[in-house]
Amino acid sequence: MSSSRVFSGQMYGAQRSGAGTIRRIRLENFMCHNSLEIELGEWVNFITGQNGSGKSAILTALCIAFGCRARETQRASKLKEFIKTGCSYATVQVDIKNEGVDSFKPEIFGDTIIIERRISDTTSSTVLKDRQGRKVASRKEDLRELVEHFNIDVENPCVIMSQDKSREFLHSGNDRDKFKFFFKATLLQQVDELLQSIIKQLKDACALVDELEKLIRPAQLELSELQEKIENIKRVEQISQEVQLLRKKLAWSLVYDEDKRLQEQSKNIETLKKRIPTCQAKIDSTLDKLEKLLERLSKKKVQVASLVEKTSEVKRKKDELWDALCSARKEKLELEEEHRRGTKQIRKMRNDVRRLEEQARDIQDKHIRNTQAEESEIEEQIKELEYAVDNVQSLLSSLKDEENTLSEQISAEMDAMKKINDEINYYERKQREVHHQICELRLHQTNKVTAFGGDGVLRLLREIERHHKAFSMPPIGPIGAHVTLVNGDTWVPAVERAIGKMLNAFIVTNSEDACALRKCAREARYNFFPIVIQRFSRPRLIIPNHSLPQTSHPTTLSVLHSDNPTIYNVLVDVCKAERQVLVKDYNMGRAVAFDQRIPNMLEVFTLDGFKMFSRGSVQTVLPINKNLKIGRLRGSFGDQVKEFESHVSNIQQDIDQCKSRKRELEKKVQDFNRKLDNKKKRRLDVEREFMAKRMKLQDMQKSHAVDASLLPESTTNELLQEISDGKMVINKKEALLETLKDRINEAEEKARTLKLSFEDLGESTKGEVEAFQKAEEELTEIEKEIHNAEANKLHYENIMNNKVLPQIKEAEAKYLELEKDRKESYKKASVICPESDIEALGDRDETTTEQLDAKLKRLNQRLMHESQQYSESIDDLRMLHQEKERRILRKLHTYKAFRERLDVSSTCCSICSRI
């Protein structure tokens, strides 16, 4: 079977100028078409083909291109169903002629408008292009404007008649159905619906005008009440006039009081100025005394200088005699020391000669007695020495082993001490941290703001106050200082874990305020805190119940309270606090986070610091953050301070226990060191004994190996020659000692003579030295008197500069201030009324300022009592009466005009409905 489709080049409603005519249709992956392009003529176009060849697909593509929905084409329920099987997208492109007087935005699109609609599995988009294919628009409103301009209604069966609509029209034998089809195709149905809507709107408008006319009646009643108020308030004006008169009198009374105070202050200044000559006289007398003392000081200095010249020569001679005396004593001591050394040397040489003589005799006797038995005795001694050396060596080895054992024990104890020291350092560091936390908590008790940034946030707040003009709205922060917990401190750990660093955040209303806040932070040296931009004018958010987690457990937002709506909005927008669920322990947290699948829940936080959440099939549990500060949101820090102090006490007990163990270990180490030192000394003694015995053994073995043929006579002769030489040296040394003795006597005599000369010189210069000392004492006394005189002078000058003159200056400044106040009072009083008005009253001196003020207060109270019912002035009431009257008249005229227009519109609608 084959069939055909008829296309009109001009769509229904397009003008004869050609604008709106379809020139070309391109299809790609649309329904059954891979790629199709059709050129259309300006009038009637015929498309023929077999059934299922895609003729109706072209009509459907036109509907889709002009914005029709999938269901309205009656070919699919979703746009993605138009994509050809096996493809991922579909494209429909329609070229429309845009020439002539009825063209659509020719300055933008040119003479051709291209409509391209692209459909994918998930989205669809419509793009309007110009002749060159450049994108011009992509909004639905732009396509709707184009369709309305060319009057292209693809849903109208007269414009596009699909197979189903044709079958419905042709096979329907009912005249009523055909009329409905005609009624809809000719847009009469749309006009009828529009007319019915207008009639309904007219009825609503008439009812609204009736309601507005009823609303005027209360305003008319208010107008009559205003007139009654105006009549009643006139009596209050009389009291007001009396108050104004008293205010004038009071203002000028203040001026007259200022005049009196100025006169009293002028007398006070004169009295103070009289104190200046007295102080100046004391200063002058002190200066005269100081000049005399300075003159005496100069004379005494001359006298002391002359005495210094006289005593300097004596002093030089004494120094020379003293140096000579010291040299003589030193020479005598050196000679005596040399004599002692010589005597000791001679004594030693005599002992050596005596020992040599005894040795010679012993050699001769020994050679005679022990010639035969000497060898056997020496061998026996060698065996004994070898046995003794072996014993000492065994003892030395055991001592070394004991010493190594002690060293290892000391090393083990030192390692234990090192561990205890590390433990003590850990406890002390922990104690310092707790002390620091206690100090912070006590600081938080005095100022809660410091809990959210310390001293840095205080500096920042001062900078914000100093630069308040730089902000359009004052920043809010830190957030932690503006929120409190609803149900005590139970949920503090979980809430602070949930909100985190946002407790330190500041809120500004725009980006310019954020820059200004950053500048203040740099000047305050306080950085790294969050800044949130949130409009302050935004009202408090209202969260519906269906958007909250459906659970009995509290959320972060439910346990927090803040009077500021901006902070509440930040907790919702930034922190997502309404979706953070709080639970008591780990097991309950896992059940809530992973097992119950609660809707609208973002995260779960436990009291012991765990954070749990699931994203799809992934379950995450984050451990406790040890660096996070907990407890800043507590209402009172006293309990926490006591808890920390108890903790410090426990740490101190641990430290004391560690130190006690350390002392015990130190005592053990000292004992071990003492034992080790003893062992070392014992070992050294044994080593020395071992070396001595071994050397002795070696010497004996060597002496035994000496040739036995040596004669003792040669050894005896050598000893006798050595004895003779020693005696000759002793004789020479004794002669030298006699010479040294004579020199010692001469040095002693010289020292005695110099000592007598030094003592004689001291006696002869004693008077001059005493005179010099006396002159120095007098000079010191004069300098002391000069110092006292200068102190007195400074005292009176301080009195003059720090008391008298400042008091005068202060009194003069007060006088100027009073004068300035008098001018201001005069100026204010002149503004209230001229002075002549007060003088004309003639009762200037009758009442005081206090009396006038008391009388004014009484009248004000009476005026307030009388005017309690009428807070407005009579002029305001008259203006309000006139304004209300004008407003009521204007509304009456407006409602009358509305009524006339509604009557005309109702008449027109009734005529149209009959037609």
| Alpha carbons 632 and 503: distance in angstroms, whole number | 9
In a domain, 362, yes or no: no
pTM above 0.75, yes or no: no
Tell me the CB-side half-sphere exposure of residue 277, using CA atoms within 13 A: 3
Tracing tokens 């009476």 back to the chain, one arrives at: 862
**CA angle (700 as vertex; 699, 703 as ends), nearest 5:** 85
More confident residue, 179 or 444: 179
Residue-wise pLDDT tens digits, 746-766? 777 776 776 676 666 666 666
72 assigned to some structural domain: yes
317 compared with 373, residue with greater pLDDT:
317
Please give the torsion angle defined by the CA atoms of residues 691, 695, 696 and 701, in that order, rounded to the nearest 10 degrees: 140
- Which 8-state DSSP code applies to residue 542? -
CA distance 518 to 346: 98
Tally of CB atoms within 10 A around 149: 14
What is the spatial distance between Cα 698 and Cα 704, in angstroms, rounded to a whole number?
A: 10
In a domain, 510, yes or no: yes
- Domain membership flag for residue 513: yes
Of residues 338 and 482, the one with the higher pLDDT is: 482
Tokens 């149209």 label which residue? 912
Query: Which range among 258-262, 525-529, 575-579 shows the weakest confidence by mean pLDDT?
Result: 258-262
Domain endpoint, select from 602, 632, 662: 632
Q: Give the range among 620-629, 708-717, 794-803 with minimum mean pLDDT.
A: 708-717
Non-local (6+) Cβ contacts of 141 within 8 A are none
Per the model's pLDDT, the better-predicted residue between 136 and 845 turns out to be: 136
Averaged pLDDT score across all residues of the chain: 76
**Number of domains within the chain:** 2
Report the share of the chain in percent with pLDDT over 90.
5
Inform me whether the pLDDT recorded for 42 exceeds 90: no
Of 139, 155, 171, the residue at which a domain comes to its end is: 155
114 falls in which pLDDT band (50, 70, 90)?
very high
Rounded to a whole number of angstroms, the distance between the first and last alpha carbons of the chain is 48
* Distance (Å, whole) CA 284 – CA 792: 11
Structural contact between residues 62 and 154, judged by C-beta atoms closer than 8 angstroms: yes
Asked if residue 572 belongs to a domain, the reply is: yes
On the question of pLDDT at 68 being above 70, the answer is yes
Specify if 861 maps to a domain: no
Q: Tell me: the pLDDT tens digits for 674-731? A: 887 787 777 777 777 767 767 766 666 666 554 444 444 555 566 566 666 666 777 7
Cα-to-chain-centroid distance, residue 417: 41
366-370, 724-728, 821-825: the lowest-pLDDT one: 366-370
- Which of 132-136, 595-599, 872-876 has the least mean pLDDT? 872-876
User: Does 237 fall in a domain?
Assistant: no
User: pLDDT-based confidence at 338, cuts 50/70/90?
Assistant: confident
437/441 Cα distance (integer angstroms): 6
Asked whether 516 and 472 are in contact (CB, 8 A), the reply is no
For strands 611-615 and 580-583, give the pairing.
unpaired
**pLDDT at residue 572 greater than cutoff 60:** yes
Domain membership of residue 524 (yes or no) is yes
Q: Is a pLDDT exceeding 90 seen at residue 330? A: no
Question: With 90 as the cut, is the pLDDT of residue 25 above it?
Answer: yes
- Which among 858, 851, 852, 830 is positioned nearest to 246, based on CA atoms? 852
Q: Can you tell me the mean pLDDT for 42-60?
A: 84
**Confidence class of residue 506 from pLDDT cuts 50, 70 and 90?**
very high
Distance CA 312, CA 96 (A): 131
pLDDT in tens, 157-210: 767 777 667 666 666 656 776 677 777 666 677 777 777 888 888 788 888 878
- Least confident range of 19-28, 138-147, 864-873: 864-873
Separation CA 322–CA 315 (nearest Å): 10
CATH of the domain at 136: 3.40.50.300
Residue that wins the pLDDT comparison between 439 and 878: 878
* Nearest-angstrom CA–CA distance, 399 and 393: 10
pLDDT band at 552 (very low <50, low <70, confident <90, very high): confident
CA distance 808 to 805: 5
Q: How confident is the model at residue 627 (pLDDT cuts 50, 70, 90)?
A: low
What letter would DSSP give residue 800?
I
Q: Confidence band (pLDDT; 50, 70, 90) for 13?
A: very low
What pLDDT does residue 598 have?
Answer: 86
The kind and range of the H/E element at 405 are helix 374-446
* Confidence band for 304, pLDDT divided at 50, 70 and 90: low
Upper half-sphere CA count for residue 880 (Cβ side, 13 Å) = 17
Identify the pLDDT of residue 708.
42
Residue 594 structural domain: 484-632
Dihedral Cα 735, 738, 744, 745, nearest 10 deg:
-150
Q: Which helix (H) or strand (E) holds 90?
A: strand 89-97
Domain boundary residue among 632, 655, 675?
632
Q: What is the pLDDT of residue 221?
A: 79
Question: If residue 243 lies in a helix (H) or strand (E), which one and from where to where?
Answer: helix 188-273
Residue 8 has a pLDDT of 47
Taking the CA of residue 852 as centre, how many other CA atoms within 13 Å lie in the half-sphere pointing to its CB?
21
Residue 308 binned pLDDT confidence (cut-offs 50, 70, 90): low
